Amino acid sequence: MHWVLKKLLGLPLLVGFMNCLFVIFSPTVFWTLSTLLPLCSINDFICIDIVIRPTSTRQDQYPRVILVLAFLALPLLLWLPYLEATWLISVFLPPLYILWMVIIGLVVLFIGGIIGLVSRIQLGHFGGPKIVIEEHHQLITTGMYSHIRHPQYLGFLLLFFGYTISMGSILLPLTITLSLFLIFRSRMNLEEKLLTETFGAVYSNYKKRTKRLIPYIY
């Protein structure tokens, strides 16, 4: 459990980094419940996910540069929806509409966060952030994985989609979600390639009876 302790000790630095643009340029986000609640919620889900995900000593098969760039972009992903809502959307939309956006966005955010955490737990030892084949790797096809092959990615897409809406953003929800989807699609392709090479016909049959993200659709 020493790796859990290390992660807990590093969480303040992570939270500070994720919210650094708010602290520097938009500290008013912390003064209003309608903006503080979605910001705290997405921070909490991300932090919990990092703490519970297992670690691996094996080399990640996914290009490291993409992960680094995505991580460095995280403060922007959190800050830009608030910036859009503050300087553009709030000028044209009445407060009642914005309130409904906050409520709907929070519901989607929490659904996504729960899906992500539950699917991470269901993977157990094999639910780390690296794309690797562990020793004695097992194929998980129960729980959420009996319906879709990548519920973790679905959870993160809903998490960020709900967050951008709850911040009052209109232009960025699809933009940010599509950008994340393109990254996740490349990861899904690599994961499925490795799993097919490892489990052969067993994984091929699993692919035939499941979808990637949305049951019966995709």
One DSSP character per residue, 151-200 reads HHHHHHHHHHHHHHHHTT-SSHHHHHHHHHHHHHHHHHHHHHHHHHHHHT
Q: Which of 218, 209, 143 is nearest to 184 (CA)?
A: 218
Taking the C-alpha atoms of residue 78 and residue 52, their distance in angstroms, rounded to an integer, is 22
Domains and CATH numbers, the chain: 2-209 (1.20.120.1630)
What's the whole-model pTM score?
0.95
Along the chain (218 residues), what's the average pLDDT of each consecutive run of 10 residues?
Answer: 71 95 97 96 96 90 95 97 89 83 97 98 92 92 97 98 96 95 98 96 96 95
Contact 148, 214 (CB under 8 A): yes
pLDDT at 116: 98
Query: Residue 146 is inside which H or E element, if any?
Result: none
